[in-house]
Amino acid sequence: MATKRDYYEVLGVSKTTPSNEIKTQYRKLALKFHPDRNKSAEAGEHFKEISEAYAVLSDPEKRKVYDQYGQAGVDGRYSSEDIFQDARGDFSDLFGRSGGFDSIFESFFGRTGGSSYRQQRGSDILYETSVTLEDVLHGKKMEINLHKEIQCDICNGSGCKPGTSKNACSTCNGQGQVRKSRSMGFASFVTVEPCSTCKGHGSIIQTPCSDCKGNGKKKGSKNISFDIPAGVDNGDYTVPEEGNEIPGGVNGDLIVRIRVQAHQKFKRDDMDIFYDQDISMIDATLGREITIPTLDGTEKIKIEPGSQPNTIIKLKGKGVPHMNSKSRGDQYIRIVVNIPKKLNKHQKILLEEFQKSAE
Ligand SMILES: [Zn+2]
Ligand SMILES: [Zn+2]
């Protein structure tokens, strides 16, 4: 659901490119866009983009998740930190410890050198919904009204009564953090901690906004639209930064928990769907063309003369779409042969005749 470019496209490789070639290609691009070498404004963002693509595609497990479930699959299973964490060894190999990757890496997450005040993040919101198998085929546009914490519109998130402003905190001189030194034996340790007077904000509200009581946020609701992609399966998918808002920080995520409803006619297994078709004993014996339902509508199939019970007929490409490509799974039709439970007199005579002729 995030509008990220395809990882393969970002690195300029294909789905079948082996991992050692992906590494070579990443090295080439990383050297070109490493912010130490490339001073253009987009280099940092681009470096992050290729690094993320590499972090996912270089890890066999994450690559598999991406191939099968796409971006939403990766977002639903891994945080940004999970994605980069496992590839850090590789990054160090490529850039060396002195290549500055650690500092770039930390800048991705708004932390520099571990000493500055960490940006606050709003909490995530879980939203549960169910979709039909037809929605899985076509994808679904969702428009929901979500109750959540939103930035206060009276004070624009500042927490100050309109017309008033914040004062710099005198305890920390507006730094939001205080240095404390402790001596232990021969050594003395300096630690940097968030200022307790201003709770790390660096400023103090003089007259709080009466609407949000100085919090800068309040309970509210927002209309949110997002796409459930075709091919979706049961699981959690992330809509980034549509969770609870936090003024001056990063909004939480909206986690969409999807359950695919059972279908009246079809059973789904991954990308394939299964369907049982009843036919009469006579049709199984003599053969016949029949019409069966598919996810798209109907399809004519031929029952061969002499078809045995539980014969499986495959309809190629009539299954569920792959989340990451245009290909679709298959539909499997199982032939269920009905044996008549009751015969009238005439039918009985005919079958007895048939039996005699077969002896
Ligand atoms: Zn302070
Ligand atoms: Zn307010």
SS (H, E, C) 170-238: CCCCCCCEEEEEEEECCEEEEEEEECCCCCCCCEEECCECCCCCCCCEEEEEEEEEEEECCCCCCEEEE
Q: Which part of the chain is CATH 2.60.260.20?
A: 120-159+214-260, 267-358
Cα separation, 59 vs 7, in Å, equals: 13
pTM of the complete model? 0.59
* Cα-to-centroid distance, 171 and ligand 2 (Å): 25
Position 103 scores a pLDDT of 55
Position 90 scores a pLDDT of 73
Cα separation, 208 vs 185, in Å, equals: 46
Cα separation, 110 vs 170, in Å, equals: 25
Q: Which ligand is nearest to the CA of 117?
A: 1
What count of other Cβ atoms lies within 10 Å of the Cβ of residue 90? 18
∠ CA 267-269-273, rounded to 5°: 50
Q: Residues 100-140: pLDDT tens digits?
A: 555 566 555 544 333 344 567 899 999 999 999 999 999 99
Position 118 scores a pLDDT of 52
Fold of the domain built from segment(s) 267-358: HSP40/DNAj peptide-binding domain (2.60.260)
Position 116 scores a pLDDT of 41
Q: Which ligand is nearest to the CA of 172?
A: 1
Counting as low any pLDDT under 50, the low residues of the chain are 1-2, 98-99, 110-117
Position 180 scores a pLDDT of 80
Position 96 scores a pLDDT of 59
What count of other Cβ atoms lies within 10 Å of the Cβ of residue 66? 24
* Cα-to-centroid distance, 198 and ligand 2 (Å): 18
* Cα-to-centroid distance, 255 and ligand 2 (Å): 27
Specify the pairing of strand 166-168 against strand 203-205: antiparallel
Position 125 scores a pLDDT of 95
Position 311 scores a pLDDT of 96
Residue 303 β-bridge partners: 288
* Cα-to-centroid distance, 204 and ligand 1 (Å): 8
Task: Provide CATH code, domain 120-159+214-260.
Answer: 2.60.260.20
Position 3 scores a pLDDT of 67
* Cα-to-centroid distance, 182 and ligand 1 (Å): 20
Class for the domain spanning 1-118: mainly alpha
Q: Which amino acid is at 280?
A: S
Task: Decide: 180 and 275 in contact? Cβ < 8 Å.
Answer: no
